[in-house]
């Protein structure tokens, strides 16, 4: 090792050496830090240079040179200011540059936090610390927040037992005792500590500020009531945790109870629940609001608006039309749609319904008030009626959708079977074991007997769809729920599809339903296969979900089903002024007309009023546009089959990755074979290039081609 030569070299004789190994520029933030330090304290570390002619080139210290030149440009220093340097030979230069940049170690964050905290105790403000060292205020704040962490954890951090992110996670609470408690758990655990786990452990007795109860009550209201808040100081959104869970739950309960007290004046019962399970209301019957006569004042306003719009349309003249008239027409049309929606949704619970039903007041997942009304408890359900009574149309009392029985309920105080078991010394737990064993035996046989399984499933499905007033368990726990379409009852009244449904319903063989159990089951089993198939299809259709093909969460299987049956939705529904064109924007109608008819037809009607355009579109898009609107055969072929986006059953859908379900499989090492997994990945990649239409055709080949009846329902099925 040679002794270095130290010299003071004027700034104007220094330049950056091409031998300097640092090629990647530092960040603006880092440069600002260095600039502030040199400006305040000067050069504290000598530059490493080598001779180059009459000047010197810098091997290590290029950033310091750049900051000096910046100070020169700003007039802070002169060009001949002498800079402390260490002179090396050119041979040493490249090696020195590499060592100086590669071996350098930054200051430990814990040391930075301690240093900044010391300066703050001496009276320095955060802004002064940031400016003096060329740091951002955010950087200084984040380092000083580490001072909230227990010294025990800081020492573990210095010993490289924790990452910086983990240490930051501890700062969510000021309670050093709780911090140490959590750290001790991880220090003795074989598992590594992660920031998310640390935060979870420190806040497991709290509610997050984004939880539904916190949203419902409000963080400010919670704090006003004396609640303590923990803040995640290192989170970008500065998230909070509400530490006093009992207080938050009380505030939420009180808020819900105030609403429940008002509802209790109208309903048979009202309860408050902070949490409800997803299937909490399965055991209840349901009543739904009945249509009511709309407010006469609203009807009068609706009629006046219609009269005014008709007058504006009749009086329309392009030369005399003004912006004021256009604004009036737009406002009237908008208000007309609002009233139409209000009238269509006019429904309320009747006094009779409220006399037997109740309400659960709770909070939904988004933190908003949720009122689940119209629930009928099992004990409040009407007495069971015979099928003959139902056929007579006895409608005394409200219409109730009955619950699906999911649990066994036995009155143990008056149960002969229980008494007999007691005499035999058969305990309840032993009875449960026997019940489970017998169930398994039945399962194993039913799973191998298609004919019986089909009859049992059909029987259960029929009870859920055809005997709505029968509150009785079925042999198979099946739930078929009709989609809620009552809000749109007017839109689906007396349609082609409604008449098709009624015709199918009238043709069902349901005489067996009038028999007592199990004779009804035996009679159903004896039905011809054709009758069973019609019943099965009816029950299945009863539970199909509703969607447009364009819905974000559309089920692709629904689209395949419609495509398989070649459903012609255009033959069942045509867009009219009442059901479509009068409810959409004028621009949409003109755009569709321009695309399917022609520009001239669209231009001729573009300036017409919305009711006129809607009437024209109804004619042009009817079942027979040639007769109704005088369209050419080619154009009529397009408009007579046009449907809004998502209405047609084309079979197209967005491919979804199948959800993995490991719940019912046992895996061994062979299941995880690497080569097999690679083969599967290759096949997936290849499948991704397939034509969706080809995939649909392949899918359809899985079904019997002789007709609409799947092979497994035919007489020769195994």
Per residue in 5-31, pLDDT tens?
A: 788 888 888 888 776 545 446 667 777
Contact residues for 407 (Cβ-Cβ < 8 A; gap 6+) = 283
Structure tokens at 8: 């003071």
Q: Residue 561 pairs with which residues in a beta bridge?
A: none
Give the 3-state DSSP-derived string for 496-531, with helices as H, strands as E and coil as C.
HHHHHHHHHHHCCCCHHHHCCCCHHHHHHHCCCHHH
Q: Say what the pLDDT of residue 47 is.
A: 82
Contact residues for 561 (Cβ-Cβ < 8 A; gap 6+) = 544
Angle (nearest 5°) at CA 131 between 129 and 136: 85
Contact residues for 152 (Cβ-Cβ < 8 A; gap 6+) = 176, 179, 180, 183
Q: What is the pTM of this model?
A: 0.43
Measure CA 589 to chain center: 32
For residue 109, CA distances in Å to 157, 232, 668 come to 9, 19, 47
Q: Do 12 and 79 meet the contact criterion of CB atoms below 8 Å apart?
A: yes
Q: Say what the pLDDT of residue 390 is.
A: 44
Q: Say what the pLDDT of residue 706 is.
A: 42
Q: Which of 211, 216, 243 is nearest to 228 (CA)?
A: 243
Q: Which of 235, 31, 243, 33 is nearest to 145 (CA)?
A: 235
For the chain, the C-alpha Rg in angstroms (whole number) is 39
Q: Do 496 and 418 meet the contact criterion of CB atoms below 8 Å apart?
A: no
Q: Kindly write down the DSSP assignment for every residue of 186-255, as one continuous string.
A: HHTSSSPP-HHHHHHHHTTTSEETTSHHHHHH-HHHHHHTT--EEE-TTSTT--EEES-HHHHHHHHHHH
Q: Do 606 and 557 meet the contact criterion of CB atoms below 8 Å apart?
A: no
Structure tokens at 136: 């951002």
CA–CA gap between residue 434 and residue 440 (Å, rounded): 10
Contact residues for 594 (Cβ-Cβ < 8 A; gap 6+) = 602
CA–CA gap between residue 137 and residue 140 (Å, rounded): 5
Per residue in 319-358, pLDDT tens?
A: 787 888 888 888 988 888 888 888 877 788 889 899 999 9
Q: Say what the pLDDT of residue 103 is.
A: 42
Q: Say what the pLDDT of residue 625 is.
A: 92
Q: Which of 10, 12, 83, 2 is nearest to 48 (CA)?
A: 83
Q: Which of 565, 599, 535 is nearest to 696 (CA)?
A: 565
Measure CA 313 to chain center: 45
The helix (H) or strand (E) run that includes residue 372 is strand 369-376
Q: Say what the pLDDT of residue 487 is.
A: 65
Q: Do 153 and 170 meet the contact criterion of CB atoms below 8 Å apart?
A: yes
Contact residues for 249 (Cβ-Cβ < 8 A; gap 6+) = 213, 274
Q: Do 326 and 357 meet the contact criterion of CB atoms below 8 Å apart?
A: no
Q: Say what the pLDDT of residue 237 is.
A: 46
Phi and psi for 241 in degrees, rounded to 5? Answer: -130, 135
Q: Say what the pLDDT of residue 637 is.
A: 93
User: Judging by beta carbons within 10 Å of its beta carbon (0-12, 13-18, 19+), is residue 61 exposed, middle or buried?
Assistant: buried
Angle (nearest 5°) at CA 709 between 705 and 712: 95
Residue ranges of the chain with per-residue pLDDT less than 70: 1-4, 19-27, 91, 93-107, 132-134, 174, 190-192, 199, 201-206, 231-239, 278-279, 316, 318, 383-415, 417-418, 429, 468-472, 484, 486-487, 653-718
CA–CA gap between residue 169 and residue 508 (Å, rounded): 66
């Amino acid at each position: 090792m040679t002794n270095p030569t130290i010299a003071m070299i004027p700034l104007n004789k220094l330049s950056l050496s091409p031998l300097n190994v640092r090629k990647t520029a530092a960040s603006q933030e880092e440069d600002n830090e260095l600039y502030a330090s040199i400006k305040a304290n000067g050069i504290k570390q000598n530059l490493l240079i080598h001779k180059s002619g009459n000047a010197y080139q810098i091997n290590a210290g290029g950033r310091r040179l750049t900051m000096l030149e910046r100070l020169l440009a700003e007039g802070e220093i002169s060009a001949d200011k002498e800079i402390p340097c260490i002179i090396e030979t050119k041979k040493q230069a490249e090696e020195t540059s590499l060592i100086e940049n590669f071996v350098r170690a930054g200051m430990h964050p814990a040391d930075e936090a301690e240093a900044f905290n010391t300066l703050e105790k001496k009276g320095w403000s955060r802004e002064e610390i940031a400016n003096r060292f060329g740091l951002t205020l955010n950087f200084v704040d984040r380092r000083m927040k580490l001072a909230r962490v227990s010294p025990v954890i800081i020492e573990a951090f210095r010993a490289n037992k924790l990452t910086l992110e983990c240490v930051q996670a501890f700062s969510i609470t000021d309670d050093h005792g709780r911090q140490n408690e959590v750290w001790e758990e991880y220090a003795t655990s074989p598992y590594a500590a992660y920031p998310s786990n640390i935060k979870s452990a420190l806040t497991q007795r709290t509610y997050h500020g984004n939880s539904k109860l916190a949203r419902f009550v409000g963080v400010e209201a919670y704090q006003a009531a004396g609640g303590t808040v923990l803040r995640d100081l290192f989170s970008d959104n500065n998230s909070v945790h509400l530490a006093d869970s009992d207080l938050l739950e009380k505030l939420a309960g009180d808020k819900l109870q105030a609403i429940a007290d008002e509802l209790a004046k109208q309903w048979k019962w009202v309860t408050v629940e902070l949490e409800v399970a997803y299937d909490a209301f399965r055991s209840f019957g349901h009543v739904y609001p009945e249509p009511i006569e709309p407010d006469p004042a609203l009807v009068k306003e609706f009629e006046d608006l219609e009269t005014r719009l008709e007058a504006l349309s009749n009086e329309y003249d392009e030369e005399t039309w003004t912006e004021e008239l256009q604004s009036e027409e737009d406002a009237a049309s908008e208000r007309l749609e609002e009233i139409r929606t209000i009238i269509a949704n006019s429904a309320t619970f009747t006094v009779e319904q409220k006399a037997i039903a109740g309400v659960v007041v709770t909070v939904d997942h988004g933190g908003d008030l949720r009122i689940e009304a119209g629930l009928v408890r099992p004990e409040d359900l009407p007495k069971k009626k015979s099928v003959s009574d139902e056929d007579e149309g006895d409608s005394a009392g409200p219409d109730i959708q009955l619950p699906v029985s999911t649990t066994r309920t036995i009155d143990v105080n008056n149960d002969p079977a229980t008494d007999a078991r007691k005499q035999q010394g058969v305990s309840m737990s032993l009875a449960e074991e026997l019940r489970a064993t017998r169930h398994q035996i039945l399962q194993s046989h039913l799973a191998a007997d298609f004919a019986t399984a089909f009859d049992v499933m059909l029987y259960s499905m029929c009870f859920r769809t055809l005997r709505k007033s029968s509150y009785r368990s079925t042999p198979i726990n099946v739930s078929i729920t009709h989609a809620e379409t009552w809000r749109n009852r007017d839109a689906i009244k007396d349609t082609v599809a409604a008449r098709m449904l009624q015709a199918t319903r009238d043709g069902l063989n349901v005489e067996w339903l009038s028999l007592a159990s199990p004779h009804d089951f035996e009679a159903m089993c004896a039905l011809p296969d054709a009758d069973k198939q019609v019943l099965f299809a009816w029950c299945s259709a009863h539970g199909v979900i509703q969607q447009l093909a364009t819905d974000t969460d559309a089920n692709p299987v629904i689209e395949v089903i419609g495509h398989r049956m070649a459903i012609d939705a255009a033959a069942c529904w045509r867009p009219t002024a009442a059901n479509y064109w009068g409810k959409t924007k004028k621009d949409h109608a003109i755009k569709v007309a321009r695309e399917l008819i022609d520009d001239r037809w669209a231009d001729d009607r573009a300036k017409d009023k919305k009711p006129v355009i809607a009437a024209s579109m109804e004619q042009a898009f009817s079942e027979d546009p040639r007769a109704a609107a005088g369209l050419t055969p080619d154009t009529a072929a397009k408009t007579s089959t046009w449907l809004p986006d998502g209405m047609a059953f084309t079979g197209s859908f967005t491919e979804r990755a199948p959800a993995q379900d490991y719940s019912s499989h046992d895996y061994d090492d062979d299941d995880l074979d690497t080569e097999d997994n690679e083969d599967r990945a290759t096949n997936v990649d290849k499948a991704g290039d397939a034509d969706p239409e080809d995939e649909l055709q392949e899918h359809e080949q899985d079904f019997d081609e002789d007709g609409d009846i799947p092979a497994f329902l035919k007489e020769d099925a195994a």
